[in-house]
Chain A
Amino acid sequence: AQKITQTQPGMFVQEKEAVTLDCTYDTSDQSYGLFWYKQPSSGEMIFLIYQGSYDEQNATEGRYSLNFQKARKSANLVISASQLGDSAMYFCAMREGAGNQFYFGTGTSLTVIP
């Protein structure tokens, strides 16, 4: 089974609108961390936001927020007030408490339309 599933290969959003990128995960660990990364066309991977499995509040970082639903094992990224510079690939990742590996999803390509 895939550890991280991102079901949206591509998404489009109008500039200044909000968009939600889906991520579901699979783990039997009680302790785990969830991360989102952005990869622009230039190729670098940029860390955006983190959510711990024991965090009661949803994580927020500027225009990024994480909609964490533990029972559903989902960790969706919400980008508010989209900007043209948000056009990129977005990857969801997980680290389990038992190991040191990062598991990445296949990514979602976001295009912001002016």
Chain B
Amino acid sequence: DSGVTQTPKHLITATGQRVTLRCSPRSGDLSVYWYQQSLDQGLQFLIQYYNGEERAKGNILERFSAQQFPDLHSELNLSSLELGDSALYFCASSVGSGGLNQPQHFGDGTRLSIL
């Protein structure tokens, strides 16, 4: 158990809809990272928040947005969903803002299926 909690574990919805994925980091971790893992794209970094502020941005679509709340939990919002958004979405956390020797600890992921 990594200590990172993601909900829900599975989500099935239709094209055009909007969903929210939730992540609670490990106790004491201030950074939250979001990743998308799909069969054709592999594991892609989306965005990082550190202590409520956006710290780094990766390959995140404009239809996607995220935020980190004062209690450090984070939400990833996906809107106008397309079939290609079907993937496993991971949240990870780390203690600091991104020190070289800080591993990221991953949650179990949310599997999103778009019908």
Contact = CB atoms under 8 A, between A and B. Distances in A.
Interface of A: 31-33, 35, 37, 42-47, 50, 52-53, 91, 95, 97, 99-107
Contacts of B33: 102
Contacts of A45: 90, 92, 106, 109
Given A33-B100, A45-B90, A47-B103, A91 B109 contact: no
B101 A101 contact: no
A47 B103 CA distance: 7
Interface of B: 2, 33, 42-43, 45, 48, 55-56, 58, 88, 90, 92, 97-98, 100-109, 111
Contact of B101 (A43, A44, A50, A104): A50
B56 to A, nearest CB: 4
Contacts of A46: 2, 106
